[in-house]
Structure 1
Amino acid sequence: MTFSRGGTVVLRTARAFAVLAGRSLLLGPATAAAWLRGERFERDVWLADTVVALGPAFVKAAQLLSTRADILPPRVCRALSRLHDQVRPVPPRTMPPALRLGAGEPELVGAGSIACVYRVVLPNGRAVAAKVRRPGIVWSLSADLAMLERGAGLAARLPMLRGVPVAAVAAQLAESIRAQLDFAREAERLEGFREALGTADGVTVPGIHPGLSTEDVLVMDFLDGLVRRRPEDLGEEERRNAVVRALRAVYRMLFLDGVVHCDLHPGNLYFREDGSIVILDAGFTVRLSESAREKFAAFFYCMSQGDGEACADIVLSTAKAPPGCDTEGFRAELAALVEKHTGRNAADFDLVSFAAKLFDIQRRHGLHADPQFVFPILSLLVLEGSVREFHPDVDFQREARPMLVTALMEHVVAAPREAR
């Protein structure tokens, strides 16, 4: 039986409503049954299981939200954090023969929304990590994302969202999530990270084994000792070193390479006891256009300098300004917003609030934001959760300046060459 794209979206939407309705109805009887048995009903487990039942796109959104203890209650964040690498696993049936001939059975080490990761010992005794794509994930994820895009198209018609590029942002978000199904692309991005960060002290990115990888399986180096640590597990100096290294790695990728890692939740970013870090997974990454990279770097630099007027000029050069929009009013409000947030450390600087106010100012003054600015902000929002938790006093604006200066200098040097 086959369905059209529209029919598939309708089916997935109906299924989502059915899952929510069914899980909500079960909540009452399950709570009563647990109470009669003298047990405490595990609402956290119920929440995580409901997200998994809804589908991979919902799991991906929950993973991002779980890092934001400043937005959601800590208990909800802890419940959703199970979804980083503890989603229901699947048997590794799709592994290539070279991996199945290894010593012993594959050992599950992580289960995500799109794939599961297994530790496999090769015949030569070397351990590798095999990332195995979930069966049927191409269909289900594509359907969920089509539902997201359809919903965004309807939401864009609401009066309160008129002029906001909701559909464009949803389309870019769906495209980037859909790209996570492409393991060849992810292998290329991981190798790019490994090369770019190869000279960075205390940063490890696993190497790829292309000869063992297939369309459904991505084989990488297996890294021992990857434990999700709490801030109290590290000393103060180690916490600071880990946070600074993570910030500099992200800034390097963002401002110099133009690659945005949107998925640096605790299942993909590990802090080690010695203050070093490990970056895994390059599925949810977005490459910015050269213009977007340069302008976002310039915006962040001007913000770190407290130059709100320059920030406004950069945003105005990227946003669509229809006739009649109040550019002077926008410039004045954004300058005041930047001045208010300049020089704050992670404990005082609220990126969620800043981003919300930035886009609100644009909307009220009739400007249409460039969707490419959404992904860098998303990346920093996810990372900020770890920064705030492990070392709230680090000044991530100051840590960005060396990379920003380098990025801006490269632009200045390259401009005369391009003019020739």
Structure 2
Amino acid sequence: MLLVDNFIHADMHPGNILVRVAKSKLSPIGLFKSRPHVIFLDVGLTTELSKMERENLLKFFKAVALQDGRSAAESTLRLSRRQNCPDPISFTEEVEKSFEFWRSTEGERVSTADRIQKLLEHVRFHRVNLDGNVCAVMVTTLVLEGWQRKLDPEYDVMHTLQTLLFKKDDWAESMSRAIEGVVAP
């Protein structure tokens, strides 16, 4: 939704999401089934990201996927047009320490949601500014990761994130050019 459509529904809970499955007859050879459609309700809390916000957020998610604390901290500091963090060096050092722990045997057991929550605690403590659109993405990410854990505790969200982000570069660039070509004046 974010990477392909640049659409963020910031009020994701079970009451706002429906799945519609068409009841259609299968073709004679049984190969063509209809695909389910996700329907979002109450879209009063939605947003889109600017090109710069998307690029910075993508760099942040890549740093998280690579478990690169320094890059994650530096990307976080770029997630606001007006950054007023009084001590970016201390912020970066604390984020790096968190990532070092998460790479340890004990730290590997920490869920993705708990990691993001810890990062947001660093953000709050160091008074790092995050633009509202970016906050909407972070909150939505936390909610979705929580759902994912309840629906399938064995699912590895970090592996999926790595797959999406590192196979997406060429695709994202060509998709971006195609979209700009369609909507260009």
TM-score, with length taken from structure 2: 0.67
Is it true that 1:265 corresponds to 2:9 in the alignment? no
- Aligned pairs, number: 157
Mapping of 1:293-372 within 5 angstroms? 293-319=54-80, 320-322=82-84, 325-341=86-102, 348-351=110-113, 353-372=114-133
Computing the radius of gyration over CA atoms, which structure comes out larger, 1 or 2?
1
The question of whether the paired residues in 2 share the 8 Å contact of 1:258 and 1:290 is answered with: no
**Distance across 2 between alignment mates of 1:371 and 1:342:** 30
Of the three residues 383, 386, 396, the one matched with 2:144 is 383
What amino acid is the match of 1:322?
N
Which one of the candidate residues 39, 52, 68 is aligned to 1:280?
A: 39
Q: Percent of counterpart pairs with the same letter? A: 24
Contact 1:288 1:372 (8 Å CA) reproduced: yes
Please say if residues 255 and 407 of structure 1, whose CA atoms lie closer than 8 Å, have aligned partners that are also in contact: no
Contact 1:296 1:373 in 2 (8 A): yes
Letter in 2 for 1:330: F
Structure of greater relative contact order (alpha carbons < 8 Å, 6+ residues apart):
2
Match of 1:4 in 2: none
Structure 2 residue aligned with 1:203? none
| Whole-angstrom distance in 1 between the partners of 2:4 and 2:95 | 26
Alpha-carbon spacing, 1:342–1:396, altered in 2? closer, same or farther (3 Å) = farther
Contact residue 298 and residue 408 of structure 1 kept, 8 A: no
Residue 7 of structure 2 contacts residue 48 of structure 2 at CA under 8 Å; is this kept in 1?
A: yes
The Cα shift of 1:290 comes to 1.5
Provide the rounded CA distance (Å) in 2 between the counterparts of 1:412 and 1:333.
37
Letter in 1 for 2:39: L
Contact 1:301 1:401 in 2 (8 A): yes
Distance 1:330 1:264, change over 3 A: same
Question: Which residue type is aligned with residue 367 of structure 1?
Answer: V
- The structure-2 alpha-carbon separation of the partners of 1:277 and 1:333, relative to structure 1 and needing over 3 Å to count, comes to farther
Q: Is the Cα–Cα contact under 8 Å of residues 303 and 342 in structure 1 kept in the other structure?
A: no
CA distance in 2, matches of 1:277, 1:335: 41
- Deviation track 1:309-338 (CA, whole Å, cap 9, x = no partner) reads 111111122344438x21111111112223
Aligned residues: CA RMSD: 3.3
Other-structure match for 1:77:
none
Q: Is the 8 A contact 1:254 1:260 kept in 2?
A: yes
Q: Deviations over 1:241-273 (max 9, x none)?
A: xxxxxxxxxxxx11233211334433315498x
8 Å CA contact retained: 1:298, 1:404: no
Query: Could you tell me whether the CA contact under 8 Å between 1:306 and 1:342 is conserved in 2?
Result: yes
Q: Which runs of 5+ in 2 are unaligned?
A: 22-34, 178-185
In the alignment, the residues of structure 2 paired with residue 265 and residue 362 of structure 1 have an alpha-carbon distance, to the nearest angstrom, of: 25
